[in-house]
Amino acid sequence: MPILLAAQAWAGEYAVLSSGFRIRADRHERVGDVVRLYTKDSVTELPTAVVTAFEQEDYVATPPAAIPAPAAGAPVSPLDPKTLVRKAAIRSGLPQEFVESVAAVESALRPDAVSPKGAIGVMQLMPATARALSADPRDPEQNIDAGARLLRELLIKYDGDVVKALAAYNAGAGAVDRYQGLPPYRETQAYVDKVIKKYREAGGR
């Protein structure tokens, strides 16, 4: 049975897919055979047949306490990777623990990480992938935000199947489509196992 992922909660609604995956949206509309899910920053289209129901969200997070501005002349510290992951996860409607698990396996949350193949930053984006996502991979905030957006896109593409989405993040969607599931690549299989293990250890399910 595939592992399915529920989206992060905040005020709005959820589209419940036939796979069990829930996608958070501000609102939706049906147009023929397509359901459009609207968020502040994007519109996602899904086949009507894939959406089984909509659930209203009844949870609204308490606004965080105001943080005092730094004194004049004091250096402003960049946000740490975990904070950037949390913000990116919220924007993409994904659990922070899931995005953080991917980042931990990809780079140990190191903004300066560069792989032998040329993948860059916390989310280990290849330059071509970063360009496609209109992100500067060397900017930690853009890198993490783009990685979270890519994860969301892959989860939608594979109807919430986490194994397929993670495999596509690691080996490319072409490989997942070619093998109709987890490719027989030792590196990719180990990668998927590590991320899922970390996610479960962090309380994900």
Q: Can you tell me the distance from the alpha carbon of 182 to that of 167, in angstroms, rounded to the nearest whole number?
A: 6
- Among 97, 106, 141, 153, the active-site one is 106
Determine whether 100 is an active site residue.
no
Asked whether the beta carbons of 124 and 146 are under 8 A apart, the reply is no
Q: Can you tell me the distance from the alpha carbon of 26 to that of 83, in angstroms, rounded to the nearest whole number?
A: 23
Q: Are strands 27-31 and 34-38 parallel, antiparallel or unpaired?
A: antiparallel
Residues 6+ apart with CB under 8 A from 105: 191, 194, 195, 198
- Of 82, 69, 138, 148, the C-alpha closest to 109 is 82
**In what side-by-side order are the strands of the sheet with 34-38?**
27-31, 34-38, 43-47
Question: How many degrees, rounded to 5, is the angle at CA 90 between CA 134 and CA 118?
Answer: 40
Residues 6+ apart with CB under 8 A from 168: 154, 157, 158, 175, 176
Which residue numbers are catalytic? 106
